Structure 1
């Protein structure tokens, strides 16, 4: 007998309920399907594609250690799985749920097709502490404000993580069917002709084992001061676990219980971090109830906001997808368009430029600085938030389809539980407050005081007044 384990955004062995079920059922065949063709599926950005390549290399090793082979195939998931079922004739197919509308539609198609074929199909909760339809207001609706959502979430039972299946609980690979799969390199996930992959590899090690190394470093120190330290970009104050959560190398259940059970004076920092896990949940809650989160303002009045650069994402293939750096630092002063200057870290505002250069060099940006660069683009520059959201989608290793648009809409003022539009972050004031010693800016913008550094792209006071004037045009609508 054979079962199929379908991996998606859950690239780990431990606390993987679908894998546990597949191993318990029969000798499992594990498959990862690169689906960029099913209707509504958003293709991965360039940084995410690099991460996925490295993660699949590691997952294959981890599974082989437990006697399970990982098969790679590409195409519409429902069709690929149907073909695999015909080859393998499994008794059951298992996977962990996803919550975007397109992904849910695919899952429904798969489940209906399998059951029609007489194959048991079952999905599990593995990526969220509580599924979006289980948390609702007293009136039965969904939350649009974070604090009451968090207050309810933290009172609910959080299940304990599941143990990883070991080799003794799996059938050896030579007892299972041999299935042909794609060559990972042939997928072309790693950009060529640029040094970006080398830069990312110098910063990150994808995989389950690496996730726990990062967690231990965080839990052994920074978590103690996380409540204050996570706001300071020039220090090691954050967890840097976001890409590991995004790809499922570590689960929120594991983090919740590992931090909650640690001894020592970490209660304030621990609660501050768990609240961040709650915000992640809230973003997925929003996406579930608003499937067009990345393309439509949650606050309809912003449909009439006079964005000054209304160019929509997707008009041109980003350079990073063609294998070229989008805007190298050496070209910063020659960027032709204002949006190009923002992307390249050439706005003449050191704190903004530091964030954008950190993003390109590392595939990641400190959370507070993400808010600053987003505020500068949407409010000081007046550019539609979707332009920035797509750039982050292309360049962040941790970009997911819920947190990325939800956070951009929060900053822009068009989202749920939004920062009021008139709260416009002043990047110079923020730098004095959160980077008082200049450690962050000096690292990423060492040329800030040198000849040739660009003049500020926007006058912060004038552009703030202009943004508020624009906002008045939609108030009351």
Structure 2
């Protein structure tokens, strides 16, 4: 096959965008016709299979990406199976002379990428990979002794002090797409969407997956909410959050694009840096995943292996999952999660603390539920945040720090607006009643608490002391 007809295959993964996509840009610049490929690999061999909410998002993100590629003269080839094997098959059948990809960081993903690289090189093709989803490669940001940081604040100081992140790449106006025949499965055949019952209506009402949706959300955040982000980000009713986490997780926008967009915004420097710190946490969590590849199942601090977790009561577990614990802020968060696939960050900490320290259930059970129900479920961030709350992770909150959900609601949702939005049984009550309905005179259909907050807190502290002893 003549070289000019030999395509450059772009293996897309968590980078479902055409702008600031180094792998796509290299394929275009190679002068070869471009063939973008996405492989759904849900075998578990290359990282955790996506949860149900993330699968819903992926379906719509792939549809949006294919439309964007076709508008520019290309198309998206879809495959289902082992990523390395499917990509090798595409390259063999098309006679591809170049494989480009953006790096991944889960251990199984890296091993799969190595297999794809070896197969391509053995077939005589060139291979390249790029940094695209993080501001740095794990292990690049080191302290003065040449070691990795164990605490976030000095890590971010070093990361942000290392220079301005590179400028994002523009979207290509046109792509010379490869037009030969190659097998591609239909998007519907990937089985990403829920069947009966279809529980995704709330997700569809809340989100617009895809690159356009990501940039619309960035514009809205920067123009209308960034100025109040630092002051109101902990208030779940304030809508101060960017809600960009799922767009970042699927790579519909890059951290480079977001960094420069926020840095160029008309907002005080301390406000802009407060938001950019959250991008730093993403990088920090991936550094942690790089050194602890079993982050979702193994305690970073192994002394927590001896922690005396309580035996799980299935009815209590279901009450937590469904937002029926009788603790208003916890229930509001869990219902928001089920309806929208997302939960406010402050409330995530409160619901996780309640699960780990008041119910004293193993953090891994809660992490698994969030993995299945969050549209932004991320292999580094989700596990690191649960371990942070548990006290078993890096830079973790101490175990004896127990979030009191009533006090948290009184401080961050003083009028009970967030509670009223997601727990309609409590709307008729005043703020005090919404925070502590067990003390309200008016009768409601709201359940009694599944656990006494004061006694369960003390039981958690006693269990922590037994672990230390």
TM-score category by the smaller chain? over 0.9
- 2:139 match: secondary structure: helix
Shift of residue 139, structure 1, vs aligned partner? 2.5
Give 2:323's match in structure 1, choosing from 345, 358, 365.
Answer: 345
Shift of residue 310, structure 1, vs aligned partner? 6.3
Matches within 5 A, 1:28-107: 28-37=34-43, 39-107=45-113
Matches within 5 A, 1:180-259: 180-259=183-262
1:447 aligns with 2:425: yes
- 1:159 match: secondary structure: coil
Q: Match for residue 166 of structure 2?
A: 159
Q: Match for residue 288 of structure 1?
A: 290
Q: Match for residue 13 of structure 2?
A: 8
Per-residue CA deviations over 1:42-89 (Å, capped at 9, x if unaligned) read 110000000000000100000011111110001001111111111111
In 1, are the aligned partners of 2:20 and 2:257 still within 8 Å (CA)?
A: yes
1:139 aligns with 2:171: no
In 1, are the aligned partners of 2:37 and 2:76 still within 8 Å (CA)?
A: yes
In 2, are the aligned partners of 1:58 and 1:206 still within 8 Å (CA)?
A: yes
Q: Match for residue 156 of structure 2?
A: 150
Distance (whole Å) between structure 2 residues aligned to residue 187 and residue 163 of structure 1: 30
In 1, are the aligned partners of 2:46 and 2:106 still within 8 Å (CA)?
A: no
Distance (whole Å) between structure 1 residues aligned to residue 352 and residue 44 of structure 2: 31
Shift of residue 300, structure 1, vs aligned partner? 0.6
Alpha-carbon spacing, 1:205–1:226, altered in 2? closer, same or farther (3 Å): same
1:409 aligns with 2:383: no
Give 2:272's match in structure 1, choosing from 270, 273, 277.
Answer: 270
Q: Match for residue 325 of structure 1?
A: none
Shift of residue 437, structure 1, vs aligned partner? 1.2
In 2, are the aligned partners of 1:392 and 1:399 still within 8 Å (CA)?
A: yes
Q: Match for residue 3 of structure 2?
A: none
Distance (whole Å) between structure 1 residues aligned to residue 98 and residue 299 of structure 2: 41
Shift of residue 38, structure 1, vs aligned partner? 5.8
In 2, are the aligned partners of 1:144 and 1:416 still within 8 Å (CA)?
A: yes
In 1, are the aligned partners of 2:168 and 2:257 still within 8 Å (CA)?
A: yes
Distance (whole Å) between structure 2 residues aligned to residue 42 and residue 242 of structure 1: 18
**Which stretches of structure 1, 4 residues or longer, exceed 6 Å deviation after superposition?**
none
- 2:425 match: secondary structure: coil
Segments of 5+ residues of structure 2 without an aligned counterpart are 1-5, 427-436, 438-442
Distance (whole Å) between structure 2 residues aligned to residue 460 and residue 431 of structure 1: 14
Matches within 5 A, 1:391-410: 391-410=369-388
In 2, are the aligned partners of 1:297 and 1:415 still within 8 Å (CA)?
A: yes
- 1:132 match: secondary structure: coil
Give 2:466's match in structure 1, choosing from 456, 459, 473.
Answer: 473
- 2:194 match: secondary structure: coil
In 2, are the aligned partners of 1:38 and 1:76 still within 8 Å (CA)?
A: no
Distance (whole Å) between structure 1 residues aligned to residue 425 and residue 348 of structure 2: 21
TM-score (norm 2): 0.93
1:435 aligns with 2:413: yes
Q: Match for residue 429 of structure 2?
A: none
- 1:372 match: secondary structure: helix
- 1:292 match: secondary structure: coil
In 1, are the aligned partners of 2:46 and 2:112 still within 8 Å (CA)?
A: no
Shift of residue 39, structure 1, vs aligned partner? 2.3
Distance (whole Å) between structure 2 residues aligned to residue 85 and residue 231 of structure 1: 49
- 2:118 match: secondary structure: helix
Shift of residue 268, structure 1, vs aligned partner? 2.5
Shift of residue 303, structure 1, vs aligned partner? 0.1
Matches within 5 A, 1:265-344: 265-309=267-311, 337-344=315-322
1:361 aligns with 2:354: no
Distance (whole Å) between structure 1 residues aligned to residue 202 and residue 260 of structure 2: 33
